[in-house]
Amino acid sequence: MVYETDSDVPATFPVIDISLLSSEDELQKLSSILSSCGCFQAIGHGIPVEFLDKVREVAQQFFALPDEEKQKCLRAPNEAEGYGDDLVVSDDQLKDCCKRLILGVFPEHQRRMNLWPEQPTDFGETLHEYALKIRSVINGLSKAMARSLKLEENSFLNQFGDCPAMGARLNFYPPCPRPEVFGAKAHLDRSGVAVLLQDKEVEGLQVLVDGTWHMVPVIPHALVVNLGGLMQVMTNGMFKSPLHRVLSNATKFRMSVTVFDEPEEEREIGPVDHLVNHTRPRLYRSIRNFAAFNYECFQKGKNSLEELRIPLIPEFAG
């Protein structure tokens, strides 16, 4: 895949004040951005910037620990959670220049506590508190998204079940002198919604909109909201889950913290009934365990959403 790169475009990345989503105008803005771009920067989320800085701080403190301390959280081969870099799946694979700490946060009883850092000592409580706050941001957004499409506000939340999962991915991008290596290769997120806390100084995240990569500018008090593939499936393609990637930086370290929601295990997720009709036929098959499917497609260089697409029957084609 070759895409035009256009990083010189002025920083016009969309920003939404999510405290205003009770107003019809702001809801319309939300649905128009999600239908075209699938990603925006959220302000008005109510999380104090001091607390966002605290989250950044514990993440950096963990990453700054000596290797033998970080190894205590090491991801076992073929496991999803823990600390490490890309799984090696083929000989010619070009690994991303990134170390990740991946942790399941909710449901709490499924936490793999042996993989949670003991240092810094307030890591666990900080991540717990942050994930609670992000859960409430995501739930509020999910309801607003449903309302913006004239759906009952729990239409998306209900599909995820009473006890949905939340995960955290802490990304550490060391300086990398090889520009052909990515911090993270282009991918689609596996979630319903992913909320990303960016580095305060160093940019690097790019989102593909209409065939052009757009750099997401740094706004220290904002949260980047990015729709995962499941939201594109549930909205029957009305909202987009964008491909995104992270450029490597030759001289600077960058970090980010992503918190994302996922359905209860074994839940089958498909387009919401009200978004399937004669003029808008069903676009996607329903799917269980999209996370695994999405990862498998990514490894094969395929787009998971294209793979889930139901071919148009001639009546609807053209």
Look at residue 7 and give its three-state secondary structure.
coil
Residue 163 CB partners (closer than 8 Å, separation 6+): 107, 264
Site string for Ni ion, 91-130 (x = CB under 5 A): ----------------------------------------
Residue 245: CB minimum distance to Ni ion, A: 8
What residues form DSSP beta bridges with 17?
Answer: 43
262 binds Ni ion (CB under 5 A): no
Work out the number of other CB atoms within 10 angstroms of the CB of residue 79.
13
* Range in contact with Ni ion (rule: CB under 5 A) among 71-79, 188-196, 284-292, 300-308: 188-196
Site string for ligand OGA, 200-239 (x = CB under 6 A): -----x----------------------------------
- Binning the chain into helix, strand and coil, the percentages to the nearest 5 are 30, 25, 45
Q: Which of Ni ion, ligand OGA, none binds 294 (CB below 5-8 Å, type-dependent)?
A: none
The smaller minimum CB distance to ligand OGA, of residues 240 and 244, is found at 244
Q: Which of 81, 96, 189, 262 binds Ni ion (CB under 5 A)?
A: 189
E-strand stretches of the chain: 4-5, 15-17, 39-43, 82-84, 99-106, 165-173, 182-187, 193-198, 205-209, 212-215, 223-227, 244-247, 254-262, 268-269, 287-288
244 binds ligand OGA (CB under 6 A): yes
Q: Which of 184, 188, 223, 259 binds ligand OGA (CB under 6 A)?
A: 184
Q: Which two tokens stand for residue 311?
A: 């071919």
Q: Which of Ni ion, ligand OGA, none binds 41 (CB below 5-8 Å, type-dependent)?
A: none
Q: Which of 196, 207, 215, 291 binds ligand OGA (CB under 6 A)?
A: 196
Q: Which of 246, 259, 291, 305 binds ligand OGA (CB under 6 A)?
A: 246
Q: Look up tokens 């991008």; give the residue.
A: 173
The DSSP output letter for 209 is E
Residue 26: CB minimum distance to Ni ion, A: 25
The smaller minimum CB distance to Ni ion, of residues 151 and 225, is found at 225
CA distance 258 to 242: 16
CA distance 286 to 262: 15
Q: Which of ligand OGA, Ni ion, none binds 234 (CB below 5-8 Å, type-dependent)?
A: none
41 binds ligand OGA (CB under 6 A): no
144 binds ligand OGA (CB under 6 A): no
CA distance 106 to 116: 13
Q: Which of 169, 185, 252, 309 binds ligand OGA (CB under 6 A)?
A: 169
CA distance 229 to 294: 8
> 10-46 in b/e burial notation, b at 16+ Cβ within 10 A?
eeebbebebeebeeeebbebbbebbeebbbbbbeebe
The smaller minimum CB distance to ligand OGA, of residues 133 and 190, is found at 190
- Binding residues (CB under 6 A) for ligand OGA: these are 169, 171, 184, 189, 196, 205, 244, 246, 256, 258
- Binding residues (CB under 5 A) for Ni ion: these are 189
